Amino acid sequence: MQQLGMGQAVNQALREEMQRDSRVFIAGEGVGVSIHDSPMLPTAGLLGEFGPGRVKDTPVSEAAIAGLAVGAAAAGLRPVVEIMFNPFFTLASDMIVNHAAKLRYLSGGKSTFPLVIRMKSGAGFGAGCQHSHNLEAWVAHCPGLKVIMPSTPADAKGLLKAAIRDEDPVIFIEDMMLYFAPGPVPEEPYLIPIGKAEVKREGSDVTVVTWSKMLGVAMQAAAQLAEEGIDVEVVDLRTLVPLDKETILQSTRKTGRLVVLHEASRTGGFAGEICAVVMEEAFGSMKAPFRRVTGPDIPVPASPPLERFYIPDATKLVAAVKEIV
């Protein structure tokens, strides 16, 4: 099987969908001619294959980028636009929060807005807080948006293809560190359904719910804990909205213990939502208080030791699991 980074997997998904459907086009800052010339990046080579008519370099105008997606989707195209980094979403937030998310509802269900907004996210590059802040909880809070945060290259490819074919606005968040962590990606065409979590590791003692880059941390901690006789089940959400409650509840009812792990800062983070769902719907099965392992409530620091401390690691997760097992 081919080994690809997540950026390459995204690239394949974009290429396949653009080949399949002439309505699909991409736009964003440097999606055609980029300052970064690396085959590991998501839009590498697409300009050459599809031309400037469908691979559109835009000005540094996030509101216009997101807005053109809304308008073009309303008029029958399938835009896939890129907001370079998750924190830059704030510059496009009116178009995403007030328009993309709400216009279908405001049309009384008569119009659809099939668009994808891709964003890079994640700490680990020393880029500092205005490039590294994970804001998935902000978009997850907006009814009308679907939110995907894949953890593996294979998932990214199948989910992005599904997102492009979906009738609703999808926010697709790619952790940049994963661009450089190759993994197996099937060669034959496939889709992964939106809204389906995956149990990435089966276990019986405790459920760790996580997504995106933190899956690697969860798997590492699970391996460590296995050596100590603690059997961890790892649920990879993959999609935050719509949330696959069934898989979460099935797992937590089985293990009776829950730890939620995400990189984003703690207060108002999506872990709170997961805990609330389990509290409301599986309380009777739970044997211990829940734990959250998250980034601290600070802007992501650039300093290497501080940034390393910011990003949750296996040591912190192992400690949290041991508190409740």
Partner 1 sequence: MKTKSTRKTKAAALDRDHALYLLRSMIRIRRLEDKCAELYSAMKIRGFLHLYDGEEAVAVGVLEALTRDDAVVATYREHGHALIRGVSAGCILAEMYGKQEGCSRGRGGSMHLFDDKTHFYGGNAIVGGGLPIAVGLALADKMQNRPNVTCCFFGDGAVAEGEFHESLNLASLWKLPVLFVCENNLYAMGTALKYTQAVMDLARKAASYDIPSHAVDGMDVLAVEAAAKQAVEAVRAGEGPHFLECRTYRFRAHSMFDAELYRTKAEVEEWKKRCPIETFTQTLKSRGLLSEADLEKIERDVEGEIREAVAFAEACTWEPVEDLTRFVYSERRMS
Active site residue ranges: 62, 131
Cα distances (angstroms) measured from residue 295 to each of 100, 130, 173, 188: 29, 15, 17, 37
Tell me how far, at minimum, the Cβ of 25 lies from partner 1, in Å.
7
**SS3 label, residue 6:** helix
- Examine residue 114 and tell whether it contacts partner 1 (CB under 8 A): yes
Burial of residue 41 (number of CB atoms within 10 Å: 0-12, 13-18, 19+): buried
- Examine residue 79 and tell whether it contacts partner 1 (CB under 8 A): yes
From the list 242, 268, 289, 296, which residue makes contact with partner 1 (rule: CB under 8 A)? 242
Per CB under 8 A, the segment of 105-113, 118-126, 207-215, 291-299 that binds partner 1 is 105-113
- Examine residue 19 and tell whether it contacts partner 1 (CB under 8 A): no
From the list 14, 47, 68, 192, which residue makes contact with partner 1 (rule: CB under 8 A)? 68
Which residue number, 165 or 245, has a Cβ lying nearer to partner 1? 165
- Examine residue 67 and tell whether it contacts partner 1 (CB under 8 A): yes
- Examine residue 66 and tell whether it contacts partner 1 (CB under 8 A): yes
CA 93 – CA 70 distance, rounded (Å):
12
- Side by side, which strands form the sheet with 291-295? 198-201, 232-236, 206-210, 258-265, 291-295
Cβ atoms of 84 and 90 closer than 8 Å: no
Strands 258-265 and 206-210: parallel
Tell me how far, at minimum, the Cβ of 101 lies from partner 1, in Å.
9
What mask of x and - would describe binding to partner 1 in positions 150 to 179, judged by CB under 8 A?
A: ------------x--xxxx-----------
Q: Which residues contact 107 (CB under 8 A, 6 or more apart)?
A: none
Which residue number, 71 or 182, has a Cβ lying nearer to partner 1? 71
- Examine residue 116 and tell whether it contacts partner 1 (CB under 8 A): no
Per CB under 8 A, the segment of 66-74, 119-127, 179-187, 260-268 that binds partner 1 is 66-74
- Examine residue 94 and tell whether it contacts partner 1 (CB under 8 A): yes
Handedness of CA 58, 64, 69, 73 (dihedral sign): negative
From the list 1, 37, 59, 304, which residue makes contact with partner 1 (rule: CB under 8 A)? 59
Scanning the structure block, which residue is given the tokens 């099937």? 186
Cβ atoms of 206 and 259 closer than 8 Å: yes
Instruction: Tell me which residue of 70, 77, 69, 87 sits closest to 31, measured CA to CA.
Output: 69
Cβ atoms of 206 and 257 closer than 8 Å: yes
Which residue number, 49 or 167, has a Cβ lying nearer to partner 1? 167
Which residue number, 25 or 310, has a Cβ lying nearer to partner 1? 25
CA 315 – CA 220 distance, rounded (Å):
9
From the list 70, 83, 197, 318, which residue makes contact with partner 1 (rule: CB under 8 A)? 70
Q: Which residues contact 5 (CB under 8 A, 6 or more apart)?
A: 40, 153, 178, 179, 180, 181, 182, 183
Beta bridge partners of 232: 206
Instruction: Tell me which residue of 166, 111, 172 sits closest to 140, measured CA to CA.
Output: 172
Which residue number, 94 or 313, has a Cβ lying nearer to partner 1? 94
- Examine residue 277 and tell whether it contacts partner 1 (CB under 8 A): no
| Total residues in contact with partner 1, by rule CB under 8 A | 46
Contact positions vs partner 1 (CB under 8 A): 25, 53-54, 56, 58-59, 61, 63-64, 66-77, 79, 94-95, 98-99, 103-112, 114, 143-144, 146, 162, 165-168, 242
